Amino acid sequence: MRVGEIYLAVAGGLLLLSLLLDRGRTAQALLTAWKITLQVLPVLFFIFVLMGTLQAFVPKETIAGLLGAKSGPGGVLLAEAVGCFALIQPAAVFPFSGYLLRSGASYAAIAGFVLTAILIGISTLPLEAKLLGIRFTAARNFLTFGAAFLVALVIGWIL
Amino acid sequence: MRLWRHVAIWLGLGGLVWGLVAVLSPDRGAIVGEAVGRTFGQTIEIIAAVFILIGLLQVWVPPKAVARLFGKEGGWKGLALAATIPVMIGGSLFTILPLMQALREKGARIAVIGAFITAWGGKLPLLPLEMHFLGWRFAALRLALIVPTAALLGLALEAIVDRKEPGDVGAS
């Protein structure tokens, strides 16, 4: 049995349980899942095309050089900077990171990328400033960038 | 419908890039096609399972209900909850930030808001994807580290934001 089939079996089991408990909520859950599919799947398609394009044009050595173990803290900072600008759905972060890992990026650099890609978004800055204030937004994003750097170094040190 | 326009835009953008590569070099276009097909083939079951799980999670454990927990809990208990519970919530920053403003208006501390956002970055609903692409050791380590990071970041954020102009945040 493949890993994906196990996950599907678990999801199916929980869906059945939910159906037994509350039919209306389960229908709502399926509708939400469908909306998420429409929201995320096209973005995943774009990200996968981008991955393939990078694969076709950028040699592995380049990525390994920029983000590999030898790139050290500079590589982590570069990966974090890319993560800040990446306008991608959280669900697309991991496939893209997997591509970077296979191309020779270090775990530390990938941790930096994953954390900033999820938690810092250039595109969400205006919304965050409007909702929570400029001071909060500036402090949170700087702190997150710094914390991601430390967490990335710890992950790189352990793995 | 806005959602379908979103679908069309991203599919179109992907198709455009792919088409451009294929026109420039058919060989490289084939590499792109192979990469897209292989990655989808590897992950489609996991993705489908994750989407169903997120759908169930949103309905049975709605983010709004989770956020309501934090309006009153002010002390260390609130901070501890804010650094752990949100790892289970789905959504993107666009959906989380308005929730945080609502929390703030209900009187939640800055530390709780900061910890909540950071812990939400743990992304437990996406764990199957993270494990598949980056390995269970990476996923477990990142999840374990994000909890203390969230609590500390929340406290540091509160120290910075509350120092001057306490009325600045959430006043707008």
Domain boundaries, chain B: 1-60, 62-164
Scan residues 59-88 of B and list those with Cβ closer than 8 Å to A: 59-60
Quote the domain boundaries for residue A68.
58-158
Cβ–Cβ of A124/B97 closer than 8 Å? yes
| A16 and A86 both lie in a single domain | no
pTM summary value: 0.90
Which of A1, A118, A124 is best to mutate for the B interface (most B CBs within 10 A)? Answer: A118
Say how many domains are in chain A. Answer: 2
Q: pLDDT (tens digit, 9 = 90+) per residue, A102-127?
A: 999 999 999 999 999 999 988 889 99
Q: pLDDT (tens digit, 9 = 90+) per residue, A32-78?
A: 999 999 988 998 999 999 999 999 999 999 999 999 999 999 999 99
**Domain for residue A129, yes or no?**
yes
Which of A11, A144, A155 has its CB closest to that of B52?
A11
Which of B49, B94, B117 has its CB closest to that of A10?
B49
Express as a percent the part of chain B with pLDDT over 90.
63
Residues A128-144 have a mean pLDDT of 96
**Domain for residue A52, yes or no?**
no
**Domain for residue A98, yes or no?**
yes
Average pLDDT, chain A: 93
CA distance B122 to chain A (A): 9
| A134 and A62 both lie in a single domain | yes
CA distance A3 to chain B (A): 8
The pLDDT-based confidence of B13 (bands split at 50, 70, 90) is: very high
Q: Which long-range contacts (CB under 8 A, 24 or more apart) does B71-80 make?
A: B71/B103, B71/B106, B71/B107, B71/B108, B73/B112, B74/B108, B74/B109, B74/B112, B78/B108, B78/B109, B78/B112, B79/B109, B79/B111, B79/B112, B79/B115, B79/B151, B79/B154, B79/B155, B80/B151
| A89 and A135 both lie in a single domain | yes
| A107 and A62 both lie in a single domain | yes
Q: pLDDT (tens digit, 9 = 90+) per residue, B116-166?
A: 999 999 999 999 999 999 999 999 999 999 999 999 999 999 999 988 654
**Domain for residue A115, yes or no?**
yes
| A38 and A88 both lie in a single domain | no
| A122 and A150 both lie in a single domain | yes
Cβ–Cβ of B152/A147 closer than 8 Å? yes
| A70 and A104 both lie in a single domain | yes
Which of B7, B46, B172 has its CB closest to that of A7?
B46
CA distance B13 to chain A (A): 7
**Domain for residue A48, yes or no?**
no
| A101 and A147 both lie in a single domain | yes
